[in-house]
Structure 1
């Protein structure tokens, strides 16, 4: 007679195994190791290619520099050719400024009579020459020994047409007409501001044209 309560079958105990997890971890580690090795290989190959490139460039530079002579002279000296060196003018010492000299002029070359003019304050060679109807160069040539003018000290040699002594009836207009000059030129040469002259007075007669 069978038991009223049948016996339970032997149930296979469930076993918890960690093998799949360990396998998965191993696979992940292998993949990471392969990636790391691949990255190292790629970086090494790129660095090697750069070194090869730099070596090629350096070799070309060396080939270009083979034909250049080796000297101890600086670069600037190498750029200058022998012809350019000979063409360079020798350095000369600075010359002193040449003094302006006016050639001397003789009184006989100008003609007329000679008088003496004492320089007054504010006068110059040009103003004095204009007064006596002379060129500035002529006045300087007659007084080449007096390059500087000092008022009330310097006395200049002046060449004029003549020196006229006023006689009866010699008004300025009449005197000017005798020598072929204007009354204004006569008054300017004698420093006059009025049309007046006295008997026995000496009047300076300038040249009709500039000498």
Structure 2
């Protein structure tokens, strides 16, 4: 996370870049995992596929609040907005899952949304249960997603567990399967999304929205009797694999200690994110418990007689410098409309995104210059937030597509520029 942030600072064109991540670490039969964003980890056990991670996304939050249904996710305009990722904030708080013991024949699938948005659970199960090597299955998954019309990044890793003596199936497809004809096909590959972008196609009748993920699965190996020591198959793990596992172990530990020491309500100056706040928010009472349900204690001292209590004046909050966020173009958007929403000039928006004309495409990513992104604290009201950033609340409401002045604690509000540039 730190390296991505540092690299982005060195090049203005890379400002605001980030990536989702899912990590697995294996220690004998024990499986440890963590993630940030909407890349997922699945477990296939006894032919049934179950997600082990829950997406850090705007639509997932809306599902949990009851604002939308799982069936509405794929058509929702904010389906591409994620709430956590590497490079988004100075301090990353990953979600570390419940470790478990793998059973013989278990399979793990790590993948980006470019895979599970295009293929249903039944197709994922079908391919993962085929009598083929893990490498061949991973390549088949990518190819099926591409055949289904996938244009997004499709990242896949398959891990299989074999603890009993059995025949090892060797891969038949080379790892460079998708690279061997790159020179011949490069002219047909577009670096951007095609001009005519249809809704993401879902193969099979079963739709699998991101929000269908439930982090309630706690796998338990089916072992009714004492399990004998694992029989080695004669296949040794290369030194490079051990090095990779050690590196992943260090990453997970680092993420754990960083995450355990941070708060979930960072200052606006620490934010560099790409998301839209809750537009259907309802104001909460000021006397509620603090964020994260942590117990808040306040030291109370009684002054002695003839001794007046001293109150230190509050230091004025520093207003952060302007920052960039990423905006996903929605159906019906145009440059003028987007510029007006975020109080920018159309020419500035074109220059910032290096656009030669006013043509933009649905799902295209645009850089938007804003004042900052503010996390609503308990007791915050829109007028006070506007005063803090020396702007007016109507601009804030417009940037966040708000219909009233209600704010909800924990919501992230985009603070647009006070003066159009």
TM-score range, shorter chain: 0.3 to 0.5
More helix by share: 1
Task: State TM-score, norm by structure 2.
Answer: 0.23
**Rg larger in structure:** 1
Task: State TM-score, norm by structure 1.
Answer: 0.46
